């Protein structure tokens, strides 16, 4: 039986965490992908080109425009009989929708997998990534969310999938979109960025986060923060990297003024190269950093910006 | 309107967990246990809604071993009115928990159920959504604000790019994110008072639910450890190494 992957899309392209979810799905069977919303035509064309995708299914009802869990789950449940596994990335959407799908199918979901052993057996982090559990499902159908940082995204070209429209289903009308306040940034998204520059409590205030801008600009980086910096009100919550924020695994992670609480490490320790700048040489962040610099960040940051401009 | 708040007993968030040497799980014997931090936020929100006159009664529910009664007592000390303990030694997974909660909701008829968005032990982030599905109710997950108005709940949600606000038909399920509120510490008089509040103890069979897990744990392992790298002496040396050694810039 084929495998269905729910995709997140924006402005005509498929979001990177969804491409990682497809990578996980290719280990389980023929991959069909689902795109929803009245504006998904461009994204559907992009999805048809993705490596490893056999079929693109579109549901263009406006009821799906804000990916509310109630109508989304009804749609996916109606499609479920044709699939052995149903997956989505562990994004805000995947985490919201997939457990609802699982309950409607009488299935115990498997959240945030970081590895696929076989069709029934998966690895997933528990206790904020401080232990890795191998779990085996006895459900006939599996409903899964995928930790994007653990799977290399499939290539955006190389596929030649067919496209079809989803059948219409009756949708619940019990929830309504009101508004969204999304952070506007020219920078890449945290979970998709090749480089992430994060600030912690050591930044002292929100104004000082501007010191990270020239460095992030030079490196094409996303800007993140520790929970301590978010709790102190320096930056909004969507900057947060860690157990209770976003999980990232960029090529390069630069931690500035971050002590390295377990909660933060849980969100970034799978980064390829980690750099830490902290004035406290005993800071736990140095135990996971490939390159550590013991320095006052207010001296080091301008120097780093200058050095990167050379 | 009644509010039901499920609370989970988990390894305290300050404890550095240890994987058992035989790989069968995480050591919980002799380890400090507490209420799941997101559930504390859920209890606090329910208490604030009651204090604001929007809720009439708060029922705290916990499921698991007999010691979960302590977790219910914590909720009662924070301001919940009574407790229900579903006692079992079986390992409970979200699907079974959601099914048992559904039966309790049908009996108690709350206007809202507030849960923590996820438990910090199994990190599933599923029970609230699953309960909403089983009841056919709306869901407001990862909430940072709840406003009750015109017979609806207007919930602001933490999403990947910022915040999203949705309006939900009542009754509804809300799951609490970190910024919803800062939970209070229970005062000594309230802890004393909580001892007199009633806790009803029942079994899964009383709810007609078979809690047998659908998912078995094959093994638990330590995550791969990162080795500490080198200390560099200057910013110039750092940039040099990132260019020539790590080749990431």
Please, are residues A110 and A25 in contact by the beta-carbon 8 Å criterion?
no
Name the average pLDDT for chain B.
96
Q: What is the interface size between A and B, counted as CB pairs within 8 Å?
A: 251
* Crossing angle of the two packed helices B235-244 and A297-309, in degrees rounded to 10: 50
Taken in order B38, B39, B42, B48, the sign of the CA dihedral is: negative
Nearest CA in chain B to A181: B163
Question: Residue B114 belongs to a domain with what CATH number?
Answer: 3.40.50.620
**pLDDT tens for each residue of A127-170:** 988 999 999 999 999 999 999 999 999 999 999 999 999 999 99
Evaluate if residue B78 carries a pLDDT over 90. yes
Q: Measure the CA–CA gap between A288 and B63, rounded to whole angstroms.
A: 38
Residue A100 phi/psi, 5-degree rounding, is: -65, -45
Whether chain B has a CB inside 8 Å of the CB on A140: the answer is: no
Least Cα distance to A187 among A236, A138, A221 occurs for A221
**pLDDT tens for each residue of B226-245:** 888 999 999 999 999 999 99
Q: What residues contact residue A2 under an 8 Å CB cut-off, 6+ apart?
A: A29, A30, A31, A32, A54, A55, A82, A83, A84
Which one of A66, A70, A128 has the shortest CB-CB distance to B138? A70
Instruction: Give the pLDDT confidence score for residue B161 in this predicted structure.
Output: 84
Each residue of B174-185: b (16+ CB within 10 Å) or e? Answer: bbbbbbbbebee
Instruction: Give the pLDDT confidence score for residue B195 in this predicted structure.
Output: 97
| Chain B environment of A136 (Cβ under 8 Å) | 215-216, 218
Instruction: Give the pLDDT confidence score for residue B227 in this predicted structure.
Output: 86
* Crossing angle of the two packed helices A92-104 and B127-135, in degrees rounded to 10: 50
Taken in order B82, B87, B92, B96, the sign of the CA dihedral is: negative
**Which residue ranges of chain A lie beneath pLDDT 50?**
none
CB atoms within 10 A of CB B52: 9
C-alpha to C-alpha distances, A204 to A256, A274, A282, B22, nearest whole angstrom: 11, 22, 19, 44
* Cross-chain residue pair B129–A238, CB shorter than 8 Å: no
- pTM for the whole structure: 0.93
Name the band, by pLDDT with cuts 50, 70 and 90, for residue B215: very high
Nearest CA in chain B to A287: B228
Q: What residues contact residue B96 under an 8 Å CB cut-off, 6+ apart?
A: B90, B204, B209, B210, B211, B212, B213
Evaluate if residue B83 carries a pLDDT over 90. yes
Please state the rounded mean pLDDT for residues B156-183: 95
Q: Please give the angle made by the CA atoms of B44, B49 and B53, to the nearest 5 degrees.
A: 145
* Cross-chain residue pair A180–B248, CB shorter than 8 Å: no
Which one of B93, B158, B231 has the shortest CB-CB distance to A108? B93
Whether chain B has a CB inside 8 Å of the CB on A142: the answer is: no
Please state the rounded mean pLDDT for residues B81-104: 97
Edge-to-edge strands of the sheet including A53-59?
A: A110-113, A142-146, A83-89, A2-6, A31-36, A53-59, A162-165
* Cross-chain residue pair B94–A269, CB shorter than 8 Å: no
* Cross-chain residue pair B223–A130, CB shorter than 8 Å: yes
Instruction: Give the pLDDT confidence score for residue B120 in this predicted structure.
Output: 94
CB atoms within 10 A of CB A281: 11
* Cross-chain residue pair B162–A139, CB shorter than 8 Å: no
* Cross-chain residue pair B223–A129, CB shorter than 8 Å: yes
The β-bridge partners of A133 are: A124, B220
Instruction: Give the pLDDT confidence score for residue B224 in this predicted structure.
Output: 85
Please state the rounded mean pLDDT for residues B11-23: 93
Name the band, by pLDDT with cuts 50, 70 and 90, for residue B10: very high
Domain assignment of residue B67, given as a range: 2-246
| Chain B environment of A182 (Cβ under 8 Å) | 159, 161-163
CB atoms within 10 A of CB A179: 11
Residue A13 half-sphere exposure toward CB, CA atoms < 13 A: 6
Residue B3 phi/psi, 5-degree rounding, is: -125, 130
C-alpha to C-alpha distances, A5 to A27, A34, A73, A153, A264, nearest whole angstrom: 12, 6, 13, 13, 29
Instruction: Give the pLDDT confidence score for residue A245 in this predicted structure.
Output: 87
* Number of domains within chain B: 1
Whether chain B has a CB inside 8 Å of the CB on A278: the answer is: no
Which residues 33-62 of B are in CB contact (within 8 Å) with A? Answer: none
A162 Cα to chain B: minimum distance (Å): 30
Whether chain A has a CB inside 8 Å of the CB on B129: the answer is: yes
| Chain A environment of B133 (Cβ under 8 Å) | 73, 99-104
B73 Cα to chain A: minimum distance (Å): 24
Evaluate if residue B122 carries a pLDDT over 90. yes
* Cross-chain residue pair A238–B161, CB shorter than 8 Å: yes
Whether chain A has a CB inside 8 Å of the CB on B71: the answer is: no
A8 Cα to chain B: minimum distance (Å): 11
Instruction: Give the pLDDT confidence score for residue B85 in this predicted structure.
Output: 98
Chain A interface mutation, best of B160, B221, B247, highest count of A Cβ atoms under 10 Å:
B160
Taken in order A18, A23, A29, A30, the sign of the CA dihedral is: positive
Q: What residues contact residue B239 under an 8 Å CB cut-off, 6+ apart?
A: A304, A307, A308, B249
Radius of gyration for chain B, computed over Cα atoms and rounded to the nearest angstrom: 21
Nearest CA in chain B to A227: B178
| Chain A environment of B128 (Cβ under 8 Å) | 99
Q: Measure the CA–CA gap between A168 and A219, rounded to whole angstroms.
A: 46
Which residues 288-307 of A are in CB contact (within 8 Å) with B? Answer: 288-295, 300, 303-304, 307
| DSSP 8-class letter at B246 | S
Q: Measure the CA–CA gap between B61 and A287, rounded to whole angstroms.
A: 41
Residue B141 phi/psi, 5-degree rounding, is: -85, 155
* Cross-chain residue pair B162–A180, CB shorter than 8 Å: yes
């Amino acid at each position: 039986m084929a495998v269905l992957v729910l995709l997140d899309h924006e402005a005509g392209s498929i979001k990177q965490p969804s491409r990682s979810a497809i990578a996980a799905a290719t280990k389980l069977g023929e991959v069909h992908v689902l795109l929803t919303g009245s504006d998904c035509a461009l994204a559907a064309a992009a999805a048809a080109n993705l490596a490893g995708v056999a079929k693109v299914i579109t549901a263009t009802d406006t009821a799906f425009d804000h990916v509310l869990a109630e109508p989304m789950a009804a749609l996916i449940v109606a499609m479920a009989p044709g699939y052995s596994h149903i997956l989505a990335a562990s994004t805000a959407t995947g985490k919201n929708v997939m457990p609802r799908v699982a309950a409607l199918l009488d299935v115990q979901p498997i959240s945030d997998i970081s590895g696929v052993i076989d069709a029934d057996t998966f690895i997933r982090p528990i206790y904020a990534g401080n232990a890795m559990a191998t779990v085996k499902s006895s459900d006939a159908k599996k409903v899964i969310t995928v930790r994007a940082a653990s799977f290399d995204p499939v290539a955006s070209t190389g596929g030649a999938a067919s496209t079809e429209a989803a059948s219409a289903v009756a949708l619940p009308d019990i929830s309504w979109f009101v508004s969204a306040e999304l952070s506007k940034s020219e920078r890449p998204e945290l979970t998709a960025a090749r480089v992430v520059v994060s600030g912690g409590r050591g930044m002292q205030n929100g104004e000082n986060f501007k010191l990270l801008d020239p460095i992030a600009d030079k490196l094409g980086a996303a800007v993140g923060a520790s929970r301590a910096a978010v709790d102190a009100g320096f930056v909004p919550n969507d900057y947060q990297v860690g157990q209770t924020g976003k999980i990232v695994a960029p090529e390069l992670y630069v931690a500035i003024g971050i002590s390295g609480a377990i909660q933060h490490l849980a969100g970034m320790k799978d980064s390829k190269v980690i750099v830490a700048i902290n004035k406290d040489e005993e800071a736990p962040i140095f135990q996971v950093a490939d390159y550590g610099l013991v320095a006052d960040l207010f001296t080091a940051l301008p120097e780093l910006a200058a050095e990167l401009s050379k | 309107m009644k509010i039901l708040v499920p609370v989970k007993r988990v390894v305290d968030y300050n404890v550095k967990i240890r994987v058992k040497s035989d790989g069968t799980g995480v050591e919980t014997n002799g380890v400090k246990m507490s209420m799941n931090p997101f559930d504390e936020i859920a209890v606090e929100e329910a208490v604030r809604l009651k204090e604001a006159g929007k809720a009439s009664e708060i029922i705290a529910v916990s499921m698991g071993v007999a010691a979960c009664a302590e977790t219910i007592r914590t909720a009662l000390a924070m301001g919940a009115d009574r407790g229900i303990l579903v006692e079992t030694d079986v390992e409970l997974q979200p699907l079974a928990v959601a099914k048992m909660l559904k039966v309790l909701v049908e009996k108690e008829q709350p206007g809202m159920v507030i849960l923590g968005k996820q438990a910090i032990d199994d990190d599933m982030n599923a029970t609230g959504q699953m309960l909403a599905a089983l009841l056919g109710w709306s869901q407001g997950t990862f909430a940072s604000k709840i406003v009750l108005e015109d017979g609806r709940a207007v919930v602001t949600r933490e999403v990947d790019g910022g915040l999203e606000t949705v309006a939900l038909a009542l009754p509804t399920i809300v799951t609490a994110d970190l910024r919803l509120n800062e939970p209070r510490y229970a005062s000594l008089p309230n802890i004393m008072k909580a001892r007199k509040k009633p806790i009803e103890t029942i079994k899964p069979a009383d709810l007609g639910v078979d809690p047998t897990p659908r998912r078995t744990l094959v093994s638990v392992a330590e995550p791969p450890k990162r080795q500490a790298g080198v200390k560099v002496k200057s910013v110039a040396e750092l940039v040099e190494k990132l260019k020539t050694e790590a080749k990431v810039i």
